[in-house]
Amino acid sequence: MTTTLPSGRQFAPEFLWGSATASYQIEGAAAEDGRLPSIWDTFSRTPGKVLNGDTGDVAVDHYHRVAQDIEIMKDLGLQAYRFSIAWPRIQPTGSGEVNQAGVDFYVDLADRLIEAGIKPVATLYHWDLPQTLEDEGGWTNRRTAELFADYARIMAEALGDRIHLWTTLNEPWCSAFLGYASGVHAPGVTDDEAALKAVHHLNLAHGLGARAVKEVLGEDTPISITLNTHVTRAASDAPQDVEAKRRIDTIANEVFLRPVVEGVYPPEVFADTAHITDWSFVRDGDLEIIKVPLEVLGINYYSTGRVQHGTPVTGDGEPGPDGHKTSSHTPFVGATEVEFLPQPGPHTAMDWNIEPLGLTELLLDLSKRYPELPLAITENGAAFYDTVTDDGRVHDVERTSYLHDHIEAVGQAMDQGADVRGYFVWSLLDNFEWAYGYDRRFGIVHVDYDTLVRTPKDSSRWYADLIRTRTIAPVEG
Ligand code: IFM
């Protein structure tokens, strides 16, 4: 893939450049220092759930290699590092006593980052729910949201003012719908009503967790949530296709955006899902709790989708045209007559189409809807099957081109008025890519999974230059 958008754009000095990871995907040390299993430990150990039977037991051993990984971040000149905290390290059973060794790990991480001049951006939940809580219903159980607030309070007390930006949840859409509807993610449930309950309890957890952090650290503490807002287009202007897109927008985006930003659920979702649930799990006062002033809205963007009126594509684990693994159940609950269509290429190794201007479109749409709400790209990046070549390097020109074009796409949105504050590459390191195990590599730093040796890829050098010069350089090669 070559670049399709121009080079040369310069970004303002205050624009924040970083990279992102998540606990279960990189830490390893799954049974160390008091950590107990999360739903991903259980899921990945269940035969057939993760490609090649891979697990996060070792991952890339970040737990033991923090110092080395921070040196890499320093070399790249990262200004911020977005990591997630593993709830099962902090409260191994999800409630009650605090595991001090787990807390210490993140306090030490934050201290080392600050010492290295890198701003810590902490996500409280990136999918590793303590298994004990799942045994009691997981996100279908309102108590999980209440316990999340206790956990958030513990971390706020421990980390204090070290954190530049707190993020409550990463991509609650995946937790709810891939976890409880299509079941291709942990805990692997296929029950539409459970998924809708999970939606609400995740939203509630966001509100309760954000409020707990603010109670401890003050009203002005910067809070965010990260959503993987789907950019979906209708295959035609035919009313049925337009309605298909509307259904996806509702269940993929609006069901999180509207409560979090506006304190309401989109009324259409009640009609779309009336055959599944009456939503009586939403209690008086919940929506007021969920709406918390945000410092920024985090956006994760990778590709786009195209839909028409039709039958949802199901299957047995192959990547589907909606960008996710297929299962017997669609993750798009309530979108009963919607068919995702294959997207034209180029594609990444995830089979996701590469469409940088979808990001411009998304940022403009959000900033038009919510002009007072700043945005940050909390994840963007691409998986390819990278290898270290004889010269000891990884010539990942496709990834570099992807980053080049998407960062320019952010710039184009900013030209047209979008208030975007920062950009985080997904991911710093090759890592455990959930149901795809270690097969697909997203890192700008290569990890040899046998030796755990880290090799910065060419894309990381290009990104380091961008951070240093604040200018998008052309991609060579
Ligand atoms: O690896 C994931 C990450 O955990 C959440 N956002 C998408 C990434 C790529 O699939």
CATH code, domain with 220: 3.20.20.80
253 vs 273: CA distance, rounded Å: 15
Verify whether ligand 1 is closer than 6 Å to residue 24 (CB atom). Answer: no
Q: What pLDDT, in 10s, does the model give residues 329-351?
A: 999 999 989 999 999 999 999 99
- DSSP per-residue string spanning 92-118: TTSSSS--HHHHHHHHHHHHHHHHTT-
Verify whether ligand 1 is closer than 6 Å to residue 426 (CB atom). Answer: yes
pLDDT of residue 319: 83
Residue 194's Cβ-count burial label (10 Å; 0-12, 13-18, 19+) is buried
462 vs 414: CA distance, rounded Å: 22
- DSSP per-residue string spanning 45-72: TSTTSSGGG--SSSTT-GGG-HHHHHHH
Which atom of ligand 1 is found nearest the CA of 379? 6
Verify whether ligand 1 is closer than 6 Å to residue 433 (CB atom). Answer: yes
Question: Measuring from atom 10 of ligand 1, which residue has the nearest CA?
Answer: 433
Task: List the structure tokens of 321.
Answer: 């045209």
Residue 445 has pLDDT above 80, yes or no: yes
Residue 426 lies in a domain: yes
Q: Is residue 103 a contact partner of residue 90, using CB atoms and an 8 Å limit?
A: yes
Cα of 432 vs centre of ligand 1, distance in Å, is: 9
Number of domains composing the chain: 1
Q: Is residue 74 a contact partner of residue 118, using CB atoms and an 8 Å limit?
A: yes
Task: List the structure tokens of 352.
Answer: 């996701």
Domain residue limits at 275: 16-301+346-469
Task: List the structure tokens of 243.
Answer: 């309605």
348 vs 406: CA distance, rounded Å: 14
Residue from 379, 427, 430, 431 whose mutation best tests the ligand 1 pocket (most atoms within 8 A of CB): 379
Active site residue 288: no
Q: What pLDDT, in 10s, does the model give residues 162-214?
A: 999 999 999 999 999 999 999 999 999 999 999 999 999 999 999 999 999 99
pLDDT of residue 150: 98
Q: Is residue 423 a contact partner of residue 405, using CB atoms and an 8 Å limit?
A: no
| Mean pLDDT, range 28-53, rounded to an integer | 98
| Mean pLDDT, range 285-289, rounded to an integer | 98
pLDDT of residue 312: 84
Task: List the structure tokens of 447.
Answer: 């990890």
Phi and psi angles of residue 392, each rounded to the nearest 5 degrees, phi first? 80, 10
Res. 219 pLDDT band, cuts 50 70 90: very high
pLDDT of residue 417: 98
Cα of 441 vs centre of ligand 1, distance in Å, is: 11
Q: Is residue 401 a contact partner of residue 3, using CB atoms and an 8 Å limit?
A: yes
Residue 362 lies in a domain: yes
Residue from 434, 441, 444 whose mutation best tests the ligand 1 pocket (most atoms within 8 A of CB): 434
Q: Is residue 304 a contact partner of residue 344, using CB atoms and an 8 Å limit?
A: no
| Mean pLDDT, range 457-470, rounded to an integer | 98
Task: List the structure tokens of 121.
Answer: 């951006």
Residue 402's Cβ-count burial label (10 Å; 0-12, 13-18, 19+) is buried
pLDDT of residue 61: 98
290 vs 256: CA distance, rounded Å: 10
192 vs 194: CA distance, rounded Å: 5
Which atom of ligand 1 is found nearest the CA of 431? 1
Active site residue 372: no
Amino acid identity of residue 122, one-letter, is A
| Mean pLDDT, range 315-340, rounded to an integer | 88
Q: How many CB atoms lie within 10 A of CB 242?
A: 15
Verify whether ligand 1 is closer than 6 Å to residue 379 (CB atom). Answer: yes
- Residue (of 128, 298, 122, 125) closest to 221 by Cα position: 122
| Mean pLDDT, range 36-64, rounded to an integer | 98
Res. 318 pLDDT band, cuts 50 70 90: confident
Mean pLDDT (the chain, rounded): 97
List, in sequence order, every residue forming a beta bridge with 263; answer none if it has no partner: none
**Which residue's structure tokens are 């220092």?**
33
Residue 1 has pLDDT above 70, yes or no: no
244 vs 341: CA distance, rounded Å: 12
Task: List the structure tokens of 96.
Answer: 């009650």
Residue 355 lies in a domain: yes
pLDDT of residue 122: 99
Residue 76 lies in a domain: yes
DSSP label of 436? G
Residue 1 lies in a domain: no
Residue from 40, 171, 436 whose mutation best tests the ligand 1 pocket (most atoms within 8 A of CB): 171
Burial profile 449-470: b = 16 or more Cβ within 10 angstroms, e = fewer? beebebbbbbbbebbbebbeee
Cα of 433 vs centre of ligand 1, distance in Å, is: 7
Residue 203 lies in a domain: yes
Q: Is residue 40 a contact partner of residue 409, using CB atoms and an 8 Å limit?
A: no
Q: What pLDDT, in 10s, does the model give residues 290-299?
A: 999 999 999 9
461 vs 254: CA distance, rounded Å: 37
Q: What pLDDT, in 10s, does the model give residues 352-392?
A: 999 999 999 999 999 999 999 999 999 999 999 999 999 99
Cα of 251 vs centre of ligand 1, distance in Å, is: 19
Q: Is residue 469 a contact partner of residue 81, using CB atoms and an 8 Å limit?
A: no
| Mean pLDDT, range 115-143, rounded to an integer | 98
Task: List the structure tokens of 157.
Answer: 């007390």
Residue 337 lies in a domain: no
DSSP label of 434? G
Catalytic-labelled residue, pool 27, 134, 171, 295: 171
